[in-house]
Amino acid sequence: MTLRLYNTLTRGKVDFEPFDRANVRLYACGPTVYDYLHIGNGRMLIVFDTLFRLLRHVYGADHVTYVRNITDVDDKINARAAERGIPIRVLTDEMIAIFHEDAKAIGCLPPTIEPRATEHIEPMIALMERLIARGHAYVAEGHVLFDVPSMPDYGRLSNRSADEMLAGARIEVAPYKRNPGDFVLWKPSTPEEPGWDSPWGRGRPGWHIECSAMSWKHLGETFDIHGGGIDLIFPHHENEVAQTRCAFGHEIMAQVWMHNGHLQVEGEKMSKSLGNYVTIRTLWATNDFGGRAWSGDALRLAMLRTHYRQPIDFTIRALEEAERTLSDFAKACGDAPIGAPSAAFVEALEDDLNTPKALSELYALRSSDPAALKGSLALIGIGLSSAAPAREDASPELEALLARRNEARAAKNWAESDRIRDELSALGIAVKDNKDGTVSWERKT
């Protein structure tokens, strides 16, 4: 089957044919390293790691270049370093080390190249000089700004009108701007802020120019696939397209633009104010989500059960189901060697990373071909090495009691909830709760 991918730029699936089959080039926006990454970031990492693995399977491991950058110059970084009273480089090095541990914990391969923004100031300056020379950028009061009206089809990627883009962006009102929507490529730095010498004075880059420079440096003026979360389409990716196309005069920056959907937690938008802000580290290294730490395989499987373009509700129940599935697969595989992945499994992945369909193809392999089952899971980064120990499945009667108790708790009918807990206890079942409902159950010894 031909690999087909959904292209945000054309708003439809396309047959994917790389510029060069000997060097398939993929870029994904990496973290801004000022804090722990949340599980929304984790979803992006897993999605594009899965794509990286599939491309390696289709074209050969030596024929795919995956660039995932690190943003280590940003106003949030400056503020956090000042808040902690430490040098910026100390903060970014610490957060990069933590990020690498988190990415490894959820089964992500290292990218081929992981450039840091601070190591690419020269190509950023070179891009800005090209944009100024071609009439797409201008200098004003120590700033370099992109002249949005100079690009007639600006807004094509996000499919927004000029008014929608102005409403959707955080527009900085400044007297030196020619147009309200013009965005900063370079800005002056105070003595306390990080800065580099440039033709326009000491300063630092804007966020968008960083990715344009790093993708150009390592993948070329045009490349195959650019990925990221759906929240990056505008303004970040729209502005990347504008900078790169206008600097080099091409019709495209990347052939295919891919974006994963939003993530919520237990049915609610994730936010610190709601108390449901969950980091990747919380999930695998602490007992703060559901009263226990979760295996990397379970985290990955729970993410991949939803198609990457769809919104996902990340729940404790989904993690528990993932671990039960992994236990089932681990028992089925036993000591089988890792075989070639199932053809039907690969075909589903080649249809725009249809991981839900791919996973559904695996159940028949449990008894018929455990080696293919093992190989298929390995293709998407699940090795079964960290699968949860087998546990007793709930009987239909037990499931019904647990469901009724959760309903009682949701309705704040505490008397009924306690009555069912006592009934479960009499049956030898202990339950552990949190504010979201039943977390887990186990048979008392």
- The ranges of the chain annotated as CATH 3.40.50.620 are 4-260
Task: Out of 280-284, 333-337, 354-358, pick the least confident.
Answer: 333-337
Confidence band for 331, pLDDT divided at 50, 70 and 90: very high
pLDDT at 254: 98
**Confidence tier at 386 by pLDDT (50, 70, 90):** very low
Residue with structure tokens 């409902």?
437
The share of the chain scoring above pLDDT 70, in percent, equals: 91
Count the Cβ atoms, other than its own, within 10 Å of residue 249: 9
Report the alpha-carbon distance of residue 208 to residue 211 in Å, rounded: 6
Assess contact for 192 and 172: CB atoms under 8 A. Answer: no
Are the CB atoms for 136 and 122 separated by under 8 Å?
no
Q: The tokens 């000089």 sit on which residue?
A: 129
In this structure, are residues 278 and 289 in contact, taking their beta carbons and an 8 Å threshold? yes
Tokens 């008014």 belong to residue: 163
Q: Sorting pLDDT into bands at 50, 70 and 90, what band is 444?
A: low
Bond prior to 235 in cis (omega within 30° of 0) = yes
pLDDT in tens, 108-134: 999 999 999 999 999 999 999 999 999
Is the pLDDT at 439 greater than 80, yes or no?
no
> What does the pLDDT look like over 221-274, one tens digit per residue?
999 999 999 999 999 999 999 999 999 999 999 999 999 999 999 999 998 888
Length of the chain: 445
Query: Residue 390 — pLDDT band, cuts 50, 70, 90?
Result: very low
More confident residue, 165 or 347: 347
Sheet holding 268-269, edge to edge: 268-269, 263-265, 312-314
Lowest-confidence region among 19-28, 338-347, 379-388: 379-388
> Cα–Cα distance between 187 and 170 in angstroms, integer?
16
Terminal CA-CA length for the chain? 52
For residue 99, pLDDT over 80 is answered with yes
pLDDT above 90: residue 380: yes
Question: How many Å apart are CA 443 and CA 391, to the nearest integer?
Answer: 10
pTM comes to 0.85
* Architecture of the structural domain at 4-260: 3-Layer(aba) Sandwich (3.40)
Taking residues 84-96, report their average pLDDT: 96
Segment 293-327, tens digit of pLDDT: 999 999 999 999 999 999 999 999 999 999 999 99
Write the pLDDT tens digit of every residue in 187-218: 999 999 999 999 999 999 999 999 999 999 99
What pLDDT is stored for residue 425 in this prediction? 78
